[in-house]
Every structure is written in structure tokens, then in C-alpha cells.
Amino acid sequence: MRQEQVMQVSEQRQWDRLMQMAQLGAIPGDGVNRAALSDLDHQSRRLLLSWALPLGLAPSVDALGNLFLRHEGTDPSLPPVLAGSHMDSQPKGGRFDGIWGVLAALEAVQAIREAGIATKRAIEIVAWTNEEGGRFAPGCMGSMAFSGYRPPGTWDDVKDKDGLRFGDELARLLAAEADIPRRPLGFTPFAYVEPHIEQGPLLEAEGLDIGVVTGIQGSRWFLVEIAGKTDHAGTAPLSLRQDAVQDMLRAITALNALTADPEDVLRFTVGRVEVFPNSSNTVADLARFSIDLRHPDAAVLTARGDAVAATVQGAMVKCRATVTETFNALPARFDPMVQDATEAAARRLGLGINRMPSGAFHDAQFLVPLCPSGMIFIPSRGGISHHPAEYSTPGQVANGAAVLAGVLVDLADA
């Protein structure tokens, strides 16, 4: 009998878990605000453990707070297959981005165990720390450190909007989870699979169930700080001001010109703006803004990204600017073995698939240099994501978990 006929993911169980998780940080309009390393993040990890430990999965946590749950294989000496995603959300996020990937991995492993299927390799579920970067920028810190792309202390001094340090908040998490066995940071999995909502409109528009993800476009993030001088809004003549907001506007206008793309492929976003002292009748002495730049072609991303600092500097009239690059993820291509295993598992279940790239970045991008990696997408209603209205149906999430179960058994026995 085929494994898919034996393994039964539970649509109801997975949906109930998703909705329970969505209570942790619930915001109006069905949204979720669960910032990385916040108390709510701690609670979501405890809730995950409350489901995983009774199944007999072995937990461990590394120095970045990445959380693992191990289903043992018949040969424990072999590198495990890793599957999961992240549990933090955007500040005005939805109920599915990230958390579904972790719960799908739990559902898949539970179905494998309930079917009594013994796999040669272990399967480990992972919840990566701070994928979103909404509280502490950039995102993907857990997976970047795990893969060795950046050393673990890199972001200790990054502060959130309340001035709390990433390093302190990470230490607080690790202290709260002192009862969970610690493991060394980083290892080489046999393969990595990340289930995720598509966050785009294609699968729904095409009436398809599963996206076999071929790769991820590249992303670069920058932080720009523009220093001027405070002044009285009523008395200081414009000609004598060093107004940080006015030079910020010039910089963003120049960046719009730099990133103009007649083909509408390049993505340029200023999503975060801060002005100090942020008073209506005081000229600002500091303006700070984020840049998120993306393109699937490494050459284009490199050329435009490398021109960001000079473009900002060239736009300054009265103020001084500093430009810091905080994130640089080159375009990634996923392994054909994982893509083919995903397509095969979906076809065995009679599901319609499409091969497609990802516009969003994901932890999987940083696993690519380490091991064969890939992603499984399910449809997102209206293509909406990073928004409270984010939605996939119970049947769609069940399909995703069922495909993942098939992929995990294939890879764990390879």
C-alpha cells in the first residue's frame, strides 16, 4: 500500500491548533501580532511543546533560540531531514505566515507516527527565531546563524522600537527555556523542507493546490540615518535649517528613480520611517528609514543595491547621511530532489501543482548552501499576506501537510 493511503493527516486537529496559536497575539480583523522573542512568542513555543512532547518528540534549543523537535529514525547516526518555518509574525500579520509551516510539520510527523511508519533518518521539526524582522531587523536571524552565514553575536546590539536589545531578549528566552536540552548551533541536515502559504495570488487564480517552489528572489535591506539639527518651526528660516525630513524626502525620491523598472520586476519598499524628536513644531534632527530591495537576478540586485549609498549621499542638501546594509540574501535555487519529491507526493494525492518562484524571502534561502532544500506552497486567498485578512482554507492546509508527510517519508528513507 502506498504511504499516502496509510498516513492520515487530521484537517480538524491542524486547524484547531492554528486557531489556538492565532489567539496568542490576536489583533482586530483576525490578525496576529506576535513579535519575535516577546512573551507571546514564549507562550507560542510552550503551546507547541504541549502538543509535541506527549507524542514523544525530543525537544532541543540552540544558542539562537531555534527550537527543534526530533522524531527518531531507525538509524540515529544519519543526518536528519529538517522541516519547519517560523512562529513570529509581522506587527499587523495574519494567522498563517510562518506558524502554519511549523504546525504542518508537526501534523505530518504525527501522521507518520500514527501510521506506524519507521523512517531510516530522523525527522526534525524546526521553529526558526525571528524570521520576520518586524521587531528586530533583519529577518532570518535564526537560520542565518544556524547555517553559518553570519556569526551568532552579529545582532546582539540591534534594538527594537522600545530600545530593548536583541541579545538581552534572546538571553531572556533561553533562560525561560532552561528546562529544554541545549544543542550546539548548526548542523548539516540531509535535506530541508519549508511549508508556507504562497502569499501571492497565483495558485488560487489557477485553481491549483500546491506550489512546488523553484527558488527565491534576492533581497537586500539597508538602514538610512539622516542627521540634521533641531530648530524652532516658527522662527527658523527655511534657508538656515538642516531639516532631516526634507533630505529624507530627497533621498527617497532619488531612490525611486534608481529603482524604476519598466518591467515591474524590481521591488523597492520604504516600510519603516522614524523621525526625531517627532514634534509638530520642531524641525527634525534625525530621520531614519528602511530600504527593502528585491530582484530575482543577482546581477540586477547587485548593481542597484550597490548604488543605494551613493544615491542617498547625492541627494543630501543640508544633512549628513549614513547608509548601513543590514541584510543581503542572494537569489536562491531549490534542489531538484526536493522539488521532484514534492511534485510526486502531490500527484499521488491527486493534487494540482505548479512550479513557481517565491517573491517573499524565507529561512529556506539560508539552508540552500547547507543541504538540498525546498519549499511547499499552498494557496493564499486573494494573494493577501502580511495582513490580518491572510487566509487559507482548512482543506488547503490539510493538503499541504499531507504533501509534506509524503515528502518527509521519501527523503527520510532516501
- Binding segment for Mn ion among 54-62, 122-130, 253-261, 354-362 (CB under 5 A)? 354-362
Cα torsion 272, 275, 279, 285 to 10°: value is 180
Smallest gap, in angstroms, from Cβ of residue 145 to ligand GLV? 17
How far is the C-alpha of 56 from the C-alpha of 376, rounded, in Å?
A: 26
Q: Where are the alpha helices (DSSP H) in 115-196?
A: 141-147, 166-176
How far is the C-alpha of 322 from the C-alpha of 83, rounded, in Å?
A: 39
Type of residue numbered 22: A
Taking residues 86 to 105 in sequence order and writing x for each that binds Mn ion by CB under 5 A, - otherwise, the string is: -----------xx-------
Which among Mn ion, ligand GLV, none contacts residue 100 (Cβ within 5 to 8 A by kind)? none
Is residue 128 near ligand GLV by the rule CB under 6 A? no
How far is the C-alpha of 165 from the C-alpha of 157, rounded, in Å?
A: 5
**Of positions 190, 361, 366, 377, contacts ligand GLV by CB under 6 A:** 361
| Size of site (CB under 5 A) for Mn ion | 3
Smallest gap, in angstroms, from Cβ of residue 2 to ligand GLV? 35
How far is the C-alpha of 62 from the C-alpha of 123, rounded, in Å?
A: 17
CA nearest neighbour of 66 among 160, 144, 156? 144
Smaller CB distance to ligand GLV: residue 190 or 192?
Answer: 192
Which among Mn ion, ligand GLV, none contacts residue 107 (Cβ within 5 to 8 A by kind)? none
Q: In this structure, how many other beta carbons lie within 10 angstroms of the beta carbon of residue 202?
A: 15
The phi and psi torsions of 214 (rounded to 5 degrees) equal: -90, -25
Q: In this structure, how many other beta carbons lie within 10 angstroms of the beta carbon of residue 148?
A: 13
Smallest gap, in angstroms, from Cβ of residue 357 to ligand GLV? 12
Q: Which residue is nearest to Mn ion (CB)?
A: 98
Smaller CB distance to ligand GLV: residue 73 or 134?
Answer: 134
**Of positions 11, 88, 124, 132, contacts ligand GLV by CB under 6 A:** 132
Residue that the C-alpha cell 487530521 belongs to: 10
Which among Mn ion, ligand GLV, none contacts residue 192 (Cβ within 5 to 8 A by kind)? none
Q: Interface with ligand GLV by CB under 6 A: which residues? A: 132, 139, 360-361
